[in-house]
Amino acid sequence: APSPVSLGNLQLRAAASHSTMYAGNKRKKLWREEKERLLKMTLEERRKEYSRQYVPLKDIPTWMEDIKSKNESDDENTKEEAQGKRSLSEKVSLYRGDITLLEVDAIVNAGR
């Protein structure tokens, strides 16, 4: 027959388990507090905390703005093409450079 487990033993196991999980819970709580703090900050307040130069989104031309600048030297056919792509091209920007410098809320990596 299996040996009986005392209540004292169970309490010790529960306490050990709780202390092991506490470090993770504390990190999660600190992360949530920091997230809330950052969400409440204004853009200017956040910028004061940046540790290096950054690239604001307003400095990255949309696809449409890029097409328009190229159209100045291109022919009328390209302008007609641009009109057909207007809705998406006014929302999408192409950026080449160090993505860690971008002042954006999220970056999606479309890697394999």
Q: Where are the domains of the chain?
A: 22-103
Q: Output the CA–CA distances (angstroms, integers) from residue 29 to 15, 33, 39, in the order listed.
A: 20, 6, 15
**Cα diameter, the chain:** 91
Residue 9 has pLDDT above 50, yes or no: no
Q: In the structure, what pLDDT confidence band is assigned to residue 25 with cuts at 50, 70 and 90? A: confident
Per-residue burial over 49-67, b if 16 or more Cβ lie within 10 Å, else e, is: eeeeeebeeeebebbbebb
pLDDT per residue over 27-48, tens digit each? Answer: 888 999 999 999 999 999 999 9
pLDDT per residue over 43-91, tens digit each? Answer: 999 999 998 999 998 999 998 888 888 777 665 555 555 555 567 888 8
